[in-house]
């Protein structure tokens, strides 16, 4: 039978099923293979807080979305082209995001009476006309697997476990993807378990063959390779990139790495990764609580390690007092906050940008510290190296804001050569005759650093106010004011040492779209779409949240209106309005989900038709 | 994988390694109240340091908040005066990162038993090689006199004008229960004994917990008089010595026997019991340590002082290093470039 081959610029596929259906695995494999096939890729794992929510329920749906294409893939996709629905609930919760005319591949096993009831469907949507606007493919995967694997000796339990791989096989046919990367992965992952390897490889091919033979699958899609810069690539999540960034930063600084951390969603993957890096000489402590996590890191920093602590919102709340201690003792420290939906426990697995103001102001007293925001999964690597550079050069704790979205989402990353990455310098004082713990470098205001073991420089530091220079305890009023100003000035001077903000599009004019952190992807896509329509919008993305780039104020003044989309109630908006007295139009979204680029695009188009300044 | 720290630490110690107590006194006024028990811990500490035979730049004192928190300022070593309750968190990270250091933690009954209680029990179970000196004055002093987790029930303080309703922790029992390998108790009126206990704590590899009764002249004066004053202490305390019978009293005429699991006082003058009937102290016996620790608040029994337990378990920081070395031995030193490359990657070639 002749099938039609169609070329696409981009596509979004979403694997959805029960928490135990292996959707995360299928989605990860699809994204790895798409990267291998030369596409730009951006993913979004979307799963419930419950480990194994009751089967078939609406709140138990686990999904993995992959957006892939030839050009400009900055988000995990606004709307879905292809939905794999392993049961009725996964169809129900995702249907609203499926494009009209989109493809649904439904496993009919998940649409029996029980599943329909759990999904609160009164009748079967596969049969009652609900899906008339879509291209629907229904099949009983277990039945198909049993037929396809009848000559292979595998247990029915194993067949159950390969349903996701069968579905993956169908999608590989649909998008004309190579099967080798997944076959290689199966061989490696299940090495020594021959029956598991056999079952999975057969299931993958069976899925492909099913679509190839089935008369309803008439169209295959091809998404061409991207013109990516040459080099070796891999897919990487933000959390993986942060972990690698810490290890590489320590190596580049020629310091031992110490991570003090406590398990918390969605930051724990960083701890998982680092704990596996023993052969790189990395030390880590899974502490008894968040406070001990950061305090152990402060202790290690005092001893001369590049020290870090990783956490998410509630953990950051607990660490704030110790962060103030790191500010006061002026020790280098990296604090990573993978933000999640708050307040309090909030929605642990969902994303938000609600911690910017906490990063700025949560510590008692005047306790400034630099804040960097990663703008994507791969950027978590670069931002971590930058945090280490600043921490060591200015002797200060640095806060990195990542979030649940970029922390867990993945995108292709051009693997850097360790040797060609710039060195990071640790500034130790080795001459006792010239040593005083709070004597400062003239340019950076960095205090001197001598660690235990350095002879003749024994000294005491702590949370009490210090006398300028000597570091002796002092409650002198004028000295206190001076020290507060020095600590503030030190952080402000970092602005001289970071790249200026770059504006894309016209350098002045009516509208500037300003993103920060993970909002970058959706904002950048919105900007590119508007640019393609010749809409006069300019775009910039902030990675340095404190201090801001030196030219930010001047840039803001070149535009009549500034628009900031944020996954919060307007925290950057507040900071910018306060600092630059520049009115800002905020776009807030607080739904535990990243922005769709269309949400920003439509808002900007609306603003362009109404010229007045709206605040 | 040598780092800058390894290289800097390889430099030989230049100065004289023969110290006197004076070498550990920084040029700074001691600001504790006159007669404060903490002062009585300072001089044995300064006198002990020369005996340790380690360069003073390898010694670190870490403290929390409270009167005890000032201690590091008065020792001319490296020091870190941290925040309330967190000295052990900081000391734990420091010792794991730097096993070469002799790390001392100075804390109090409020700092360590209340706000820092969680860190304390975990430091005990983890067995990091830290020497913990807990100044117990059974009151919050720096906040000017509130009852603490070691205050006794009924204690009148500013925050318990009608008497505290809480029962106290017994710090040595808590330490034992949490798995501390070295547990001892001393007091501020016997500096020689204290110095010996601190030396034992230093020599012990693993966590060492020394509870030190320190009199607060201002907010809880005389709290320990019965156990520390020369006239009464012999009849109200018993100094535990490994391998020796539990004997006490001004004339050494009393001893402890075990009746089942219950310690009882016997008189050695009345002919009914002799020294050979008495319980023999064994620092290696954890069960015995619990029994002895539980004598603490009994009105009929002398209060145990000295080393209750000294057993060996590999220190945590040693296990950390061993795990790294074993991993490198079996898998080879990690290559950073291949770590970055990950399991799956692909090559994009210029078109």
Give the number of residues written for chain A: 615
> CB distance A458–B82 less than 8 Å?
no
Question: What separation in angstroms does the CA of B103 have from each of A363, A565, B93, B95?
Answer: 28, 49, 11, 7
Q: Does A430 touch chain B (CB under 8 A)?
A: yes
Instruction: Give me A5's structure tokens.
Output: 């081959």
Average pLDDT in chain B: 96
Q: Does A180 touch chain B (CB under 8 A)?
A: no
- What radius of gyration do chain A's Cα atoms show? 26
* Residue B239: predicted pLDDT: 98
Distance, in angstroms, between A274 CA and closest chain B CA?
A: 11
Instruction: Give me B49's structure tokens.
Output: 């340091």
* Burial class of residue B167 in the structure, from the number of CB atoms within 10 Å of its CB (0-12 exposed, 13-18 middle, 19+ buried): exposed
**Secondary structure element (H or E) that encloses residue A232, with its range:** strand A231-237
pLDDT digits 0-9 by tens, B315-336 = 999 999 999 999 999 999 999 9
For residue A28, the chain B residues in CB contact (below 8 A) are: none
CATH second-level architecture of A509-609?
3-Layer(aba) Sandwich (3.40)
Q: Does A611 touch chain B (CB under 8 A)?
A: no
* Burial class of residue A558 in the structure, from the number of CB atoms within 10 Å of its CB (0-12 exposed, 13-18 middle, 19+ buried): middle
> CB distance B96–A321 less than 8 Å?
no
> CB distance A296–B81 less than 8 Å?
no
Q: ∠ CA A195-A199-A200 to the nearest 5 degrees?
A: 120
Strands A333-339 and A371-373: unpaired
* Residue A611: predicted pLDDT: 61
| φ, ψ for residue A221, nearest 5 deg | -120, 145
* Burial class of residue A607 in the structure, from the number of CB atoms within 10 Å of its CB (0-12 exposed, 13-18 middle, 19+ buried): buried
Report the distance separating Cα A110 and Cα A303, nearest Å.
57
Nearest CA-CA partner of A463 in A359, A366, A330: A330
Q: Who among A298, A418, A453 is closest to B337 (CB)?
A: A418
Contact A79, A98 (CB under 8 A): yes
Q: Who among B56, B59, B118 is closest to A288 (CB)?
A: B118
Report the distance separating Cα A293 and Cα A290, nearest Å.
5
Contact A406, A239 (CB under 8 A): no
For residue B346, the chain A residues in CB contact (below 8 A) are: 35-36, 38, 232-234
Interface of A with B in 439-468 (CB under 8 A): 451-464
Instruction: Give me B175's structure tokens.
Output: 């330490």
Mean pLDDT of B232-244: 98
For residue B343, the chain A residues in CB contact (below 8 A) are: 185, 188
Nearest CA-CA partner of A399 in A354, A335, A460: A335
Give the number of A-B residue pairs with CB atoms closer than 8 Å.
242
For residue A297, the chain B residues in CB contact (below 8 A) are: 93
* Burial class of residue A345 in the structure, from the number of CB atoms within 10 Å of its CB (0-12 exposed, 13-18 middle, 19+ buried): exposed
% residues pLDDT > 70 (chain B):
100
Question: What separation in angstroms does the CA of A397 have from each of A138, A166, A320, B138?
Answer: 55, 49, 11, 36
- Does domain A234-420 fall into CATH 1.20.1740.10? no
**Mutate which of A295, A415, A436 to disrupt the B interface (most B C-beta within 10 Å)?**
A295
CATH second-level architecture of A4-223?
3-Layer(aba) Sandwich (3.40)
Report the distance separating Cα A300 and Cα B103, nearest Å.
12
Q: Who among B8, B92, B336 is closest to A299 (CB)?
A: B92
* Residue B350: predicted pLDDT: 76
Which residue segments constitute the domains of chain B, with CATH numbers given? 15-242+282-334 (3.40.50.970), 245-280 (no CATH)
* Residue A615: predicted pLDDT: 47
Instruction: Identify the band that residue B351 occupies on the pLDDT scale cut at 50, 70 and 90.
Output: low
Q: Who among A260, A277, A453 is closest to B334 (CB)?
A: A277
pLDDT at B2 over 70: yes
Instruction: Give me A489's structure tokens.
Output: 């000035």
> CB distance B328–A185 less than 8 Å?
no
- What radius of gyration do chain B's Cα atoms show? 23
SS3 B326: helix
Report the distance separating Cα B124 and Cα B207, nearest Å.
6
- pTM, entire model: 0.95
Nearest CA-CA partner of A366 in A465, A436, A460, A296: A465
> CB distance B8–A428 less than 8 Å?
yes
Listed by start position, the domains of chain A span 4-223, 234-420, 432-497, 509-609
Weakly modelled stretches of chain A, pLDDT under 50: 615
Domain A4-223 shares a fold with domain A234-420: no
Report the distance separating Cα A53 and Cα A34, nearest Å.
30
pLDDT digits 0-9 by tens, B34-73 = 999 999 999 999 999 999 999 999 999 999 999 999 999 9
Mean pLDDT of B262-266: 97
Nearest CA-CA partner of B188 in B345, B21, B293, B39: B39
């Amino acid at each position: 039978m002749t099938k039609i081959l169609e070329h696409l610029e981009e596509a979004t596929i979403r694997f959805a099923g029960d928490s135990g259906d292996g959707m995360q695995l299928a989605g990860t494999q699809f994204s790895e293979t798409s990267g291998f096939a030369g596409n730009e890729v951006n993913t979004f794992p979307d799963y419930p807080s419950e480990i194994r929510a009751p089967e078939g329920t609406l709140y138990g749906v686990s999904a993995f979305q992959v957006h892939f294409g030839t050009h400009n893939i900055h988000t995990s996709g606004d709307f879905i082209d292809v939905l794999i629905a392993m049961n009725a609930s996964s169809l129900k919760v995702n249907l609203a995001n499926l494009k009209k005319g989109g493809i649904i591949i439904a496993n009919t096993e998940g649409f029996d009476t029980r599943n329909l009831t759990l999904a609160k469907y009164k009748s079967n949507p596969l049969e009652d006309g609900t899906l008339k606007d879509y291209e629907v493919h229904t099949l009983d995967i277990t039945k198909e697997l049993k037929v396809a694997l009848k000559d292979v000796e595998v247990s029915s339990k194993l067949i159950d476990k390969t349903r996701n791989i069968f579905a993956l096989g169908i999608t590989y046919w649909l998008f004309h993807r190579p099967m080798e990367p997944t076959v290689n992965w199966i061989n490696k992952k299940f090495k020594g378990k021959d029956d598991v390897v056999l079952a999975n490889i057969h299931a993958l091919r069976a899925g492909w063959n099913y679509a190839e033979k089935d008369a309803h699958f008439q169209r295959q899609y091809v998404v061409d390779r991207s013109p990516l810069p040459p080099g070796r690539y891999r897919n990487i999540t933000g959390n993986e990139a942060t972990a690698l960034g810490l290890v590489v930063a320590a190596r580049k600084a020629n310091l031992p790495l110490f991570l003090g951390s406590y398990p918390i969603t969605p930051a724990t993957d960083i701890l998982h990764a680092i704990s596996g890096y023993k052969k790189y000489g990395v030390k880590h402590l899974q502490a008894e609580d968040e406070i001990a996590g950061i305090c152990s890191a402060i202790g290690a920093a005092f001893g001369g390690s590049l020290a870090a602590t990783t956490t998410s919102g509630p953990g950051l709340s607990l660490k704030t007092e110790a962060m103030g201690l790191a500010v006061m003792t002026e020790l280098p420290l990296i604090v990573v906050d993978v933000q999640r939906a708050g307040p309090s426990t909030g929605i642990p697995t969902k994303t938000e940008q609600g911690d910017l103001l906490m990063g700025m102001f949560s510590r008692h007293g005047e306790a400034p510290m630099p804040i960097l925001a990663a703008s994507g999964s791969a950027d978590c690597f670069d931002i971590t190296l930058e945090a280490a550079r600043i921490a060591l050069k200015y002797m200060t704790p640095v806060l990195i804001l990542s979030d649940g979205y970029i922390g867990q989402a993945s995108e292709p990353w051009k693997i850097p050569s360790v040797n060609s990455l710039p060195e990071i310098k640790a500034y130790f004082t080795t001459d006792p005759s010239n040593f005083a713990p709070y004597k400062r470098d003239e340019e950076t205001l960095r205090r001197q650093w001598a660690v235990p073991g350095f002879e003749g420089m024994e000294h005491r530091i702590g949370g009490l106010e210090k006398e300028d220079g000597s570091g002796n305890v002092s409650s002198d009023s004028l000295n206190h004011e001076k020290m507060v100003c020095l600590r503030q000035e030190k952080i402000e001077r970092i602005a001289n040492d970071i790249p200026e903000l770059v504006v894309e599009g016209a350098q002045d004019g009516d509208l500037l779209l300003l993103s920060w952190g993970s909002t970058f992807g959706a904002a950048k896509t919105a900007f590119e779409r508007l640019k393609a329509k010749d809409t006069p919008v300019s775009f910039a993305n902030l990675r340095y949240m404190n201090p801001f780039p030196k030219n930010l104020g001047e840039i803001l003044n070149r535009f009549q209106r500034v628009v900031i989309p944020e996954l919060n109630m307007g925290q950057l908006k507040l900071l910018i309005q306060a600092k630059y007295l520049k009115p800002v139009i905020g776009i807030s979204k607080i739904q535990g989900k990243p922005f769709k680029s269309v949400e920003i695009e439509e808002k900007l188009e609306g603003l362009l038709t109404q010229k007045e300044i709206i605040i | 994988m040598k780092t800058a720290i390894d290289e800097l630490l390889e430099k030989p110690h230049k100065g004289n390694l023969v110290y006197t107590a004076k070498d550990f006194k920084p040029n700074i006024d001691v600001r504790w109240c006159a007669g404060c028990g903490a002062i009585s811990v300072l001089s044995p500490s300064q006198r002990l340091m020369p005996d340790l035979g380690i360069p003073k730049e390898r010694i670190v004192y870490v403290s929390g908040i409270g009167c005890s928190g000032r201690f590091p300022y008065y020792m001319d070593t490296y020091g870190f005066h941290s925040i309330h309750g967190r000295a052990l968190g900081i000391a734990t990270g420091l010792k794991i990162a730097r096993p070469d250091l002799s790390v001392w933690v100075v804390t109090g009954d409020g700092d360590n038993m209340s706000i820092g209680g969680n860190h304390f029990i975990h430091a005990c179970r983890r067995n990091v090689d830290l020497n913990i000196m807990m100044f117990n004055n059974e009151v919050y002093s720096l906040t000017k006199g509130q009852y603490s987790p070691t205050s006794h029930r009924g204690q009148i303080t500013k925050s318990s004008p009608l008497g505290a309703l809480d029962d106290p922790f017994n710090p040595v029992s808590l330490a034992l229960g949490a798995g501390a390998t070295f547990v001892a108790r001393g007091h501020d009126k016997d500096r020689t004994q204290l110095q010996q206990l601190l030396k034992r704590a230093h020599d012990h590899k693993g966590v060492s917990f020394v509870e030190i009764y320190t009199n607060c002249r201002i907010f809880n004066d005389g709290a320990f008089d019965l156990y520390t004053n020369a006239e009464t202490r012999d009849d109200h305390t018993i100094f535990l010595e490994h391998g020796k019978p539990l004997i006490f009293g001004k004339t050494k005429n009393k001893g402890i026997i075990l009746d089942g699991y219950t310690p009882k006082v016997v008189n050695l003058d009345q002919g009914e019991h002799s020294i050979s009937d008495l319980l023999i102290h064994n620092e290696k016996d954890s069960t015995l340590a619990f029994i002895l620790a539980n004598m603490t608040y009994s009105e009929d029994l002398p209060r145990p002082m000295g080393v209750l337990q000294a057993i060996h378990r590999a220190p945590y920081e040693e296990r950390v290093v061993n795990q790294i070395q074993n991993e490198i031995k079996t898998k080879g030193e990690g290559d950073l470039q291949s770590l970055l490359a990950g399991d799956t990657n692909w090559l994009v070639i210029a078109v």
